[in-house]
Amino acid sequence: MTTRISAFGRLADGRTVSRIVLGSPPGPVLHLLDLGATAHRLEVTGSDGMRRNVLLGHASPADYLASTDYIGGTIGRYANRIAAGRFAIDGKPVSVGAHDRGNHLHGGPDGFDRRLWEIAEHSHEHVVLELLSPDGDQGFPGNLRARATYSVDAGGVRILLEATTDATTVVNLTSHAYFNLDGEDAGAVDEHLLQVSAEEYLPVDPTGIPLGGCVPVAGTPFDFRQPTHVGPSVRSGHEQVAWARGIDHNFALDAGSAPAAVLESPRSGISLRVLTDQPGLQVYTGNFLDGGRRSSTGRLLRQGDGIALEPQLFPDTPNRPEFGSAVLRRGESYRSSITWLLGRS
């Protein structure tokens, strides 16, 4: 059987945006867009036998491009923040712009989530999308070739993000899918249970830049070592939560943790296990969804309607050698793997 590819819409310049459908019922069915290598829709069967779309999305290419919520997109070149949009590579200053409260966020105002990726390969179960990001793109040096492979089987979705460069640069790719395991239009995820395999998280300043190093989650609203309802944590009044209007923080994943996170809805009985080889998980509870944009079914997306679990390097790694390195050199390969295992409770 071949992949089903159809037109999702058009960009202002007339180019067609394609939708690629992977998998088949009763297993998970993923709808991807070549615009932003976006995970647009994911249909899953709940314990009540109902099929639900568990991903937030928008209805048209124009809606995706008008939004600053990065819904479902593949984020690059650098997911999360770089302080003041400045860093150095081998002692040479690089400036990548600061469009988010004085910092660089998610690859810039024209990041990978807004580009039309090329469909390089496809089958019924997988698709490979490719993007060439030219030298100087959003301020980043080097011609970067990025590749996003999405595969679907009965167990879930596997995402492989890869990149190579012809000059030294920094790379941190991730998927910015927002989940609501009760269905896209079900309202806030407060009743979802979240478990994160992290003894520590990274406190940030009011603009999202790490204050110092990681601190223990014990005794804070960031303690998700056991399955914990999302609602009380995002309303806790803790200064970190107040500054971010909810949770918008990097969790330092315990070494060898599998899964990195488990999200479960007692209502639908759907569970999601996130596996990754990345050191951090940005947990973002949709704090800035403000009713200004519509879901794919036309309803208003409001605060907390979805939760993003974004495996990646720690924020501001290009300025923080103690967090590791985001540097990719010519001849090296960047690789990040993200798995969403779907199950029923």
- Say if CB 164 and CB 187 are below 8 A apart: no
**Residue whose tokens read 């809805």:** 265
74 vs 164, which CB is nearer to ligand BGC?
A: 74
54 vs 177, which CB is nearer to ligand BGC?
A: 177
Find the shortest distance in angstroms from Cβ 58 to ligand BGC: 13
- Say if CB 115 and CB 221 are below 8 A apart: no
- Written as one string, the DSSP assignment of 153-198 is ETTEEEEEEEEEESS-EE-B-EE--EE-TT-TTS---TT-EEEE--
- Say if CB 145 and CB 163 are below 8 A apart: yes
Residue of 39, 46, 91 whose CA lies nearest to 327: 91
Find the shortest distance in angstroms from Cβ 187 to ligand BGC: 19
Find the shortest distance in angstroms from Cβ 315 to ligand BGC: 8
Joined tokens for residue 106:
């998610």
Find the shortest distance in angstroms from Cβ 306 to ligand BGC: 10
Interface ranges with ligand BGC (CB under 6 A): 69-70, 208, 248, 282, 284, 288, 308, 310
70 vs 334, which CB is nearer to ligand BGC?
A: 70
149 vs 285, which CB is nearer to ligand BGC?
A: 285
Q: Assess whether 310 carries a catalytic annotation.
A: yes
Q: How far is CA 105 from each of CA 84, 138, 170, 208, 316, rounded to the nearest angstrom?
A: 10, 11, 14, 10, 10
Q: Assess whether 176 carries a catalytic annotation.
A: yes
Rounded distance, CA 131 to CA 165, Å? 12
Find the shortest distance in angstroms from Cβ 311 to ligand BGC: 12
Rounded distance, CA 76 to CA 100, Å? 15
79 vs 342, which CB is nearer to ligand BGC?
A: 79
Per DSSP bridges, beta strands 300-302 and 270-276 are unpaired
Q: Which of 176, 184, 249, 264 is catalytic?
A: 176
Q: Annotated active-site positions, please?
A: 176, 310
